[in-house]
């Protein structure tokens, strides 16, 4: 079937770009039909040149999974995109009313070690680099991710996020309860006022183990592991100092925690908890205790429901840090359709405006970047570049302005 160009759609070429212009009435019709205008990158253009003509039985064509969105293109637009031989300029980065339709089959943005180094080298901002669930409750920000760099002390957020990442991969049936490290500290300190208001809706009887960690004397990370089948409590110190004695104290603290819960967990309350320890590689430096806690937690989760007799931690700590960083990035949900500041894929508000950065191509709620509706209107439907605060800060670019 031979396709003839339409008079209401025109292409103009300039160097290596090709722009599409529509008559006013057709442009308004396109916006109403599709809900928003979005950028078409060069990869999309490359594939569009090889797409077959749309079938005679339908007047629409489904865009392949090569762009940020899975979106039906109406026939008059496909009609002319098939003739496009040059790259289409990525100029329309402003959404019309709502964010793009999520494509949950997309892979994470970053998955290899070179991208890990790229993130480590960035100037710290509060951007989200990894998301474990699409409800926006479990995500990791760039400064915490950068604490995995060599010779840097890890933050509690990074350790907790990595343990949750390993649980997602190795504990699909959720048999191991992950304790928040603030709650773990309260258990070890017997802070009953705190314990009476936290985790009260969780029934421990549905779990076979619990894992957490504490910041001992605010300068050293230690792992706590409770294994129900063996009735054992482990307090594993990366430096292996008085572990059995500490585990005995941890067992007493955990019994107190169960008493505070007023025997809500009958099976756990009936257990005679005893202190135990596990042989493991000993930390030899002064800055990798967090890495040891993460690796020991990973191996314990992987061995469950069995108990490991010995935990081996790779002595190449720098390489281990990089591997852990790569695992965090690889386990992430797709970042394309999430706000890079709040990690939300949708908004509680019915109508929310989104804007895409021209440099990093990450989406932003205008409220998350402190942009007013009037400022947003200056970009809507115009050939203007927008730079998010992260890119503007790292490149010394003016925020929300063209250069």
Lookup result for tokens 């421990």: 204
- Bridging pattern class, strands 60-62 and 72-74: antiparallel
pLDDT of residue 139: 96
Confidence at residue 243, expressed as pLDDT on a 0 to 100 scale: 96
Tokens of 167: 């649980």
Q: pLDDT tens string for the chain (403 positions)? A: 444 444 444 444 444 444 444 444 443 333 333 333 333 344 444 444 444 433 333 333 333 333 333 334 444 344 444 444 333 333 333 333 334 433 333 333 344 667 899 999 999 999 999 999 887 789 999 999 999 999 999 999 999 999 999 999 999 999 999 999 999 999 999 999 999 888 888 899 999 999 999 999 889 999 999 999 999 999 999 999 999 999 999 999 999 999 998 778 889 999 999 999 999 999 999 999 999 999 999 999 999 999 988 999 999 999 999 999 999 999 999 898 899 999 988 765 666 789 999 999 999 999 999 999 888 988 877 778 899 999 887 765 555 554 3
Name the 3-class secondary structure at 95.
Answer: coil
C-alpha triplet 275, 281, 286: angle, nearest 5°: 100
How buried is residue 285: exposed, middle or buried, by Cβ count under 10 Å (0-12/13-18/19+)? exposed
In the prediction, which pLDDT does 289 show? 96
Number of C-beta neighbours around residue 312 at 10 A: 12
3-state helix, strand, coil in the chain (%, to 5): 35, 15, 50
Q: Would the CA dihedral through 47, 52, 53, 54 be positive or negative?
A: negative
CB-CB neighbours of 339 under 10 Å: 25
User: Which residue ranges form the domains of the chain, and what is each CATH number?
Assistant: 9-88 (no CATH), 153-313 (3.40.395.10)
* Inter-CA distances, 67 with 39, 73, 105, 389, Å: 9, 13, 12, 24
Q: At what angle do helices 156-170 and 317-330 cross, to 10 degrees?
A: 60
Residue 388 near residue 357, CB atoms below 8 Å: yes
**353-357-361-367 Cα dihedral, nearest 10 degrees:** -40
Identify any residues that bridge with 280 across adjacent strands, giving them in sequence order: 311
Cβ neighbours of 314 (radius 10 Å): 11
DSSP characters for 327-345? HHHHTSPPSTTSBTTT--S
């Amino acid at each position: 079937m031979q396709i003839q160009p339409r008079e209401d759609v025109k292409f103009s070429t300039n160097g290596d770009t090709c722009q599409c212009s529509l008559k006013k009435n057709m442009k308004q019709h396109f916006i109403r039909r599709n809900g928003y205008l979005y950028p078409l990158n060069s990869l999309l253009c490359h594939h569009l040149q090889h797409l077959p003509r749309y079938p005679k039985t339908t007047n629409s064509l489904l865009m392949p999974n090569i762009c940020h969105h899975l979106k039906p293109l109406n026939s008059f637009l496909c009609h002319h995109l098939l003739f496009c031989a040059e790259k289409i300029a990525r100029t329309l980065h402003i959404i019309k009313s709502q964010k793009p339709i999520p494509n949950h089959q997309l892979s994470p943005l970053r998955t290899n070690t070179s991208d890990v180094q790229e993130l480590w080298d960035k100037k710290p901002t509060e951007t989200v680099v990894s998301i474990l669930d699409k409800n926006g409750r479990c995500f990791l920000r760039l400064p915490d991710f950068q604490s995995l760099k060599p010779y840097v002390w890890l933050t509690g957020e990074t350790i907790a996020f990595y343990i949750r990442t390993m649980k997602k991969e190795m504990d699909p049936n959720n048999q191991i309860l992950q304790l928040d490290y603030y709650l773990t500290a309260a258990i070890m300190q017997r802070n009953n006022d705190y314990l009476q208001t936290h985790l009260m809706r969780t029934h421990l009887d549905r779990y076979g183990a619990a894992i957490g960690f504490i910041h001992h004397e605010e300068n050293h990370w230690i792992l706590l592991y409770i294994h129900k089948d063996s009735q054992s409590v482990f307090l594993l110190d990366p430096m292996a100092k008085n572990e059995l004695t500490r585990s005995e104290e941890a067992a007493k603290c955990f019994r107190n925690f169960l008493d505070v819960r007023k025997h809500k967990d009958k099976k756990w309350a009936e257990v005679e908890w005893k202190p135990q320890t596990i042989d493991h590689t000993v930390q030899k430096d002064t800055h990798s205790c967090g890495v040891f806690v993460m690796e020991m937690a990973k191996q314990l989760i992987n061995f469950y429901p069995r108990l490991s007799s010995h935990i081996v931690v790779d002595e190449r700590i720098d390489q281990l840090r990089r591997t852990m960083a790569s695992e965090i990035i690889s386990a992430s949900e797709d970042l394309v359709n999430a706000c890079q500041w709040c990690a939300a894929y949708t908004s509680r508000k019915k109508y929310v405006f989104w804007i895409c950065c021209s440099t990093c191509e990450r989406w932003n709620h205008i409220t998350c970047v402190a942009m007013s509706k009037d400022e947003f209107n200056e970009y809507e439907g115009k050939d203007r570049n927008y730079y998010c605060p992260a890119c503007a800060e790292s490149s010394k670019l003016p925020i929300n302005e063209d250069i």
